[in-house]
Amino acid sequence: MTNAEISKLFRHVAAAYAVKDEKKHYFQIVAYQRAADIIEASPAEMRDLFKEGKLQTVPGIGPSIKTHLEELITTGKVKHFDQVMNAVPQAMFPLLDIPSFGPKKAFKLVTIFHLQNQESVIEDIEKLALDNKIAQLEGFGEKSQNDILQAISEYKTGTTKSARMVLPFAAELADQMITYMKLCAKVNTIYPLGSLRRMVATIGDVDLAVASGDPKAVIEHFTAYPNKERVIEQGPATASILMSGGKHVDLMVQPPDRFGSLLQHFTGSKQHNIHLREVALKKNLSLSEYGIKEKGSEEKGKFDTEEKFYRALGMVWIPPEIREDTGEIELALKNNLPNLVELEDIQGDFHIHSNFAIEPSHDLGRNTIEEMVQKALKLKYTSIGFSEHNPSVSKHSSKETYDLVAQRNEALEKVQQKFKKIKIFKLMETDILANGKIGLDEKSLSILDATIVSIHSSFGMSKNEMTKRVIAGLSHPKAKILAHPTGRLLNQRPGYELDWDILFPFCKEHNKALEINAFPARLDLPDSLVRKAVEYGIKFFINTDSHAAAHMDLMRFGVSVARRGWATKHDILNAMEYNKLEQWFKQ
DNA sequence: GCCGTTTTCGGCCCGACTGTTTTCAGTCG
C-alpha cells in the first residue's frame, strides 16, 4: 500500500464522516484530511516507517491513526474504516476524484438516483445530466448541471489534475504570465508564490500575487489572457484560470500597503500557515491575507512587507524554502533559524561533463573544457571539477582506459595554464558496477584528485544489496562523492532504494560527501533526505551535472534543495575556498 | 482524532468564490 493509496483512503474516510454527520465528526474529518495531506507529501513510504517503528514520528499521526495504519499495512484493510465507509453508498467515492465534487454533492446524487455501481457511476451521472435530470433537483440548476458535464468531460480527457511540473517548467509558465500581466499598467508588483516560491521539487499550480490599487482592472486583464482554456473563477480579489495541459494559474490582488500579508498568505505552505495562525491565536491575533486583527476587533493591521508581518507575531522572517511546518516557526520565535546557504556562497561546480572524447559508456558533454571554464569564470567561480564518465569498461583494456584518462588530464592542464584564476580539479564520474567495484582501476584512479561515484545500471536491486553496493563503491579512498544518490528522475522513475540509516553514518565516519544534484529533473538528494543528512553532520557538494555550459546556470535549483534541507554554507563543500577543498580531497 | 514551555483537557486557520438561494451550503486553497 503506497502513500498515495493511503492518502486516498483517508480522504474517503473523511468524506464518509462528512456525509454521516459533519458537525459531530468535524475534528476527526480535519484530522484525517491533515494526515492525508501529510502522508501524500511524505517522501518516506508509510510501510517503511512502520517496519522501522517510526510511524508516530509523522506529524498528524497520533495513537488512533497509528493503530489503523498498522492494521492497514499488515492486513490490507481496517475494520473501523470499513464500518465508517459501509454506512454510506460506495458509488459516491469515484466521484470525489472529479474537481468540484465533494462528499455532499457526491452523496446527494448517488442517493437520489440510487446509483450503486462504482465502475459506471461517473458515466451514470453524465447521462443523467445529459437527460436534464439533475437541473430539476433541489439545490441544483441549469448552471450546475452544465458544470457537472464540463467537470466530467475535463476529468475524462485528463484535462485536470495531470502530473505536477518540474520547477523550470513551472517557472517558465509563471514568467509567461508575469510578462503578460505586466502589460497591465495597474500592476505595481507581481511575484510567483506558492510552491514555486518555496522551490518545491515539483509544482502543481502556478500562484501569482499582485500589488495594485486597482484590483478590478488587474483581475479583468488576467481573465482576458488569450491562451487560457477557460476562466475557473473570478471575484473582486482573486481569480483562477485553466491553462491548456490542465494547469491552474491562481491570482490574488491586494493594495500595496497590504502586500506583505498577501505574500505571506499565498506562499504557504498550508501547514505553515495553519500553525502560524494557531500561534497568533494564542496572542489573541487573527491572521489573513488582509493583515492582522486583534480578536474581537474588525480593524485589520496593514503590512506592506513580510518582514513586518512576521515581526508583528514576535518572530523573524522565515525563508520561503523552509515554510513547511517542520520546526521553523518555533525557531523563528526564538530568533534561532539556521543561516541557509545562498547561491552567492557557491565557489565552484564539481560535476561537469566536457565533450572530451573519453569514449564513455554514458553521455558526453557538448562543450569543450575551455568553454566550460569560461562559463565558470563568468559565474565568478574559483574552482571547477571535471568529471566526465569513465571510459566504458566493456570496450577498453585497462591500458586504453588509463591512456584516455591521462589524455583528458593533459587537456585539463593545458587549459589550466591558460586560466590561472581558477583551480581545475581532475575528477571523473565513475560507475559503481553491480558487483560494487568501480569502473576505473588503481592506476587510472592514481592520476585523479578524486572521483565521483554513481549508479547507472542494475537499478532493480533490493534495498540491502543496493546499500552494500554503494558502500562498496564509496569505500575506495579516491571515491569521495556519491552523485545523485537516489537515482530518481522526477515524473519518470522513482529511483532505487537505499538504507539511509546505514549510508549516512558510513558517510559521516569515512568523510564521504553526498551530491545535491541541481539538474531540475533530478534534484537528488531530495530535500527531506538533505535535512536528515545535515542532522548527521554530512557534507555536500551542490553540483549541476552540466553536459553543456548553459546548464551551469541551473545551480540555483540545487541551492534551493539545500536550503529546503536546512543546509548552511558550512555544510556545503563547494562553498569552501579551493585550497581547503584540495585538503579535503586528500583526506 | 491530534496536540501541548500558558493546556494530558479543551481547544482546533481563515477566507474566496459559485450557484441557488433571499441568507447559505459546498468546494477549494
DSSP 8-state symbol, A392:
P
Nearest one of A314, A334, A326, A341 to A275, comparing CA atoms: A326
In A 64-93, which Cβ lie closer than 7 Å to strand B?
A: 64-66, 80
- For residue A195, what pLDDT is reported? 96
Protein CA at A262 to nucleotide C1' at B4, angstroms = 30
Peptide bond into A269 cis (omega under 30): yes
Q: Where does the pLDDT of residue A587 fall: very low under 50, low under 70, confident under 90, or very high at 90 and above?
A: confident
Q: Tell me, what's the pLDDT at A298?
A: 81
C-alpha cell at A366: 557538448
Residue A334 has pLDDT above 90, yes or no: yes
- The Å distance, CA of A225 to C1' of B22, is 35
The protein residue nearest nucleotide B28, judged by CA to C1', is A100
Amino acid identity, position A231: V
- The answer to whether A97 touches A112, Cβ cutoff 8 Å, is no
Confidence check: pLDDT of A221 > 70? yes
Q: Which nucleotide is nearest to A99 (CA to C1')?
A: B27
- The distance (Å) linking the CA of A441 with the C1' of B21 is 79
User: What is d(CA A506, CA A471) in angstroms, rounded to the nearest whole number?
Assistant: 8
What nine digits make up the cell of A21? 454527520
Say how many C-beta atoms besides its own lie within 10 A of residue A100's C-beta: 15
CA of A263 to C1' of B5 (A): 30
State the pLDDT at residue A41.
87
What are the DSSP calls for A235-280, one per residue?
-SSEEEEEETTS-EEEEEEE-GGGHHHHHHHHH--HHHHHHHHHHH
Q: Is A233's CB less than 7 Å from nucleic acid strand B?
A: yes
pLDDT of residue A296: 74
Task: Give A29-80 pLDDT, tens digit per residue.
Answer: 999 999 999 999 888 899 999 998 999 999 999 999 999 999 999 999 999 9
pLDDT band at residue A244 under the 50/70/90 scheme = confident
Which residue's CA is nearest to the C1' of nucleotide B7?
Answer: A282
Q: What is the DSSP string of A527-582?
A: HHHHHHHHHHT--EEEE--BSSGGGGGGHHHHHHHHHHTT-BGGGBGGGS-HHHHH
A460 touches strand B (CB under 7 A): no
B5 C1' closest Cα residue: A330
Identify the pLDDT of residue A43: 84
What's the distance, Cα to Cα, between the start and end of chain A in Å?
Answer: 44
Statement: residue A97 has pLDDT above 90 = yes
Residue nearest to nucleotide B20 (CA to C1'): A139
Confidence of residue A160 (pLDDT cuts 50, 70, 90): low
Measuring alpha carbon to C1', the residue closest to nucleotide B24 is: A139
Q: Which domains does chain A have, with CATH numbers?
A: 3-156 (no CATH), 165-254 (3.30.460.10), 269-333 (3.30.210.10), 343-586 (3.20.20.140)
Does residue A35 reach within 7 angstroms of strand B, measured from its CB?
yes
Over range A327-343, report the average pLDDT: 96
What angle is formed at CA A152 by the lines to CA A106 and CA A119, rounded to 5 degrees? 65
**Burial tier of A321 (Cβ tally within 10 Å: 0-12, 13-18, 19+):** buried
Q: Has residue A109 got a pLDDT over 70?
A: yes
pLDDT at A162: 66
Q: How far apart are CA A544 and CA A501, in angstroms?
A: 26
Asked whether strand B has any atom less than 7 Å from the CB of A144, the reply is yes
Give the pLDDT confidence score for residue A150 in this predicted structure. 95
Whether the pLDDT of residue A6 is over 90: the answer is: yes
Q: Alpha-carbon distance A324 to A315, whole Å? A: 16
Number of residues that this document lists for chain A: 587
Q: What is the pLDDT of residue A31?
A: 96
Q: Which nucleotide is nearest to A144 (CA to C1')?
A: B19
Q: Tell me what pLDDT residue A518 has.
A: 98
A140 touches strand B (CB under 7 A): yes
Reply yes or no on whether the pLDDT at A411 is more than 80.
Answer: yes
Residue A486 pLDDT class (50, 70, 90 cuts): very high
A395 band by pLDDT with thresholds 50, 70 and 90: very high
Strand B–CB A27 distance below 7 A: yes
Nucleotide closest to residue A238 (CA–C1') = B16
Query: What average pLDDT does this structure show over A459-485?
Result: 97
* pLDDT band (50, 70, 90) for residue A166: very high
Nucleotide nearest to A138 (CA to C1'): B20
Backbone angles phi, psi at A245, to 5 degrees: 95, -5
Q: Is the CB of A539 under 7 A from strand B?
A: no
Question: Residue A373 contacts by C-beta under 8 Å, 6 or more apart in sequence?
Answer: A384, A415, A419, A422, A424
* Averaged pLDDT for residues A432-449: 96
Q: Is the pLDDT of residue A359 over 80?
A: yes
Give the pLDDT of residue A157: 86
CB < 7 A to strand B: residues 565-584, chain A: none
**Strand B proximal residues, A:4-23, Cβ < 7 Å:** 18, 22
Strand B contact nucleotides, protein CB < 7 Å: 1-3, 6-7, 11-21, 25-29
Cβ of A138 near strand B (distance < 7 A): yes
Q: What is the pLDDT of residue A348?
A: 98
pLDDT at A297 over 90: no
The pLDDT, as a whole number, for residue A161 is 60
Question: Which residues of A in 255-294 have their CB below 7 Å from strand B's atoms?
Answer: 270, 273-274, 277-278, 280-282, 286-290, 293
| CA atom of A113 to C1′ atom of B3, Å | 42
Across all residues in chain A, what is the average pLDDT? 95
